[in-house]
Amino acid sequence: MDVITRYFCEGAARIPREGRRATPATVVTPVRDESVPAGGFRVHYREDEVLVEHSDAAGLQAGLDMVEVLAEDESFTQALEVADAPLMETRSYLLDVSGDRIPTWDSFVRLVDVMERLRLNQLELRVGHAFTYVGHEDVWEGTSPLTAGQLKRLASLCDAHGVRLVCAIEPLTHWERWLALPAYRNRAELPDGRVDDRGEHHPPSELAATPSNAHFAGGLVAELLHAQGSGLLNVGGHATTELGLGRSMARVERRGLAEVY
């Protein structure tokens, strides 16, 4: 936890001040100060009063967490000033649930709590097929997918802890479960799959780069955005192994693999 926090933040250096440290009876007073960076704090930890200077709710919570840390640390006796602020505005954790391993609600609660303590402020959830997309029941049936209601509930949980929920989608790769079904096979770059250099056959896994597939993926994105509520999406660029080998071969020959990708 300490390593991750230091990576995202200034490091919370402790500066000794005149006087003695706070006691359990010392009053903790939040002070709004617009000069404190967003998400940051200044804690004046002294016997007569503990001041937590902040400019927003995230900074106040982080400052109060620091007060708790100082109260439990018996290695010092003098008054201290501790200041800290995030180095990056967005501090994300990406969780991939597309492999049919959906966390329980209690696991999500614990995850968001840990994220708050680590001062991470964005949970990116790669759902893949594990969402109840309307009209695509044959894809997610039997996978215990997240429902729109569950995603909204998770978004509310995140919001209460200063975390933003953002769904993530891979527009080209990891469509194996979809493309294994006859109804979606014609969307594949290689409908019959591919054979690698070792002679092993791999089923189709990537969407062909076509306007029709862009519209198709866009419809799925719209459902996710409506459920999560934040209006943001992480569009992944995971490595492709099939692009240019099937339906997009002619385009790649004309324009080059990088441009088509």
Beta strands (DSSP E) in the chain are 14-20, 28-32, 41-45, 50-54, 78-84, 92-96, 122-126, 164-169, 194-195, 201-202, 233-235
| Percentage above 90 pLDDT, the chain | 71
66, 68, 23: which is closest to 46 by C-alpha? Answer: 23
Token digits for 226?
Answer: 């409506």
Distance CA 242, CA 222 (A): 26
Contacts of 21 by beta carbon, 8 Å cutoff, 6+ apart: 45, 46, 47, 70, 76, 77, 78, 79, 80
Asked if residue 199 lies in contact with residue 148, where contact means CB atoms within 8 angstroms, the answer is no
Asked if residue 146 lies in contact with residue 100, where contact means CB atoms within 8 angstroms, the answer is no
Q: Give 3-state DSSP helix, strand, coil % of the chain, rounded to 5.
A: 35, 20, 45
pLDDT at 137: 95
pLDDT at 239: 82
Q: Is the predicted pLDDT of residue 98 greater than 90, yes or no?
A: no
Residue 147, phi then psi, degrees to nearest 5: -95, 170
Label residue 17 exposed, middle or buried (CB < 10 Å: 0-12, 13-18, 19+): middle
9, 12, 1: which is closest to 114 by C-alpha? Answer: 1
Handedness of CA 194, 202, 235, 88 (dihedral sign): negative
Distance CA 223, CA 166 (A): 13
Per-residue pLDDT reduced to its tens digit, 144-165: 899 999 999 999 999 999 899 9
Exposure pattern of 33-47 as b/e (b: 16+ CB <10 Å)?
A: eeebbebbbbbbbbe
Per-residue pLDDT reduced to its tens digit, 53-74: 999 988 998 899 899 999 999 9
pLDDT at 11: 60
In this prediction, residues 11-30 reach a mean pLDDT of 91
Asked if residue 78 lies in contact with residue 16, where contact means CB atoms within 8 angstroms, the answer is yes
Tokens 């695509």 locate to: 136
**DSSP reduced 3-state for 259:** helix
Q: Is the predicted pLDDT of residue 10 greater than 80, yes or no?
A: no
What is the pTM for the complete model shown?
0.79
**Amino acid letter, 73:** D
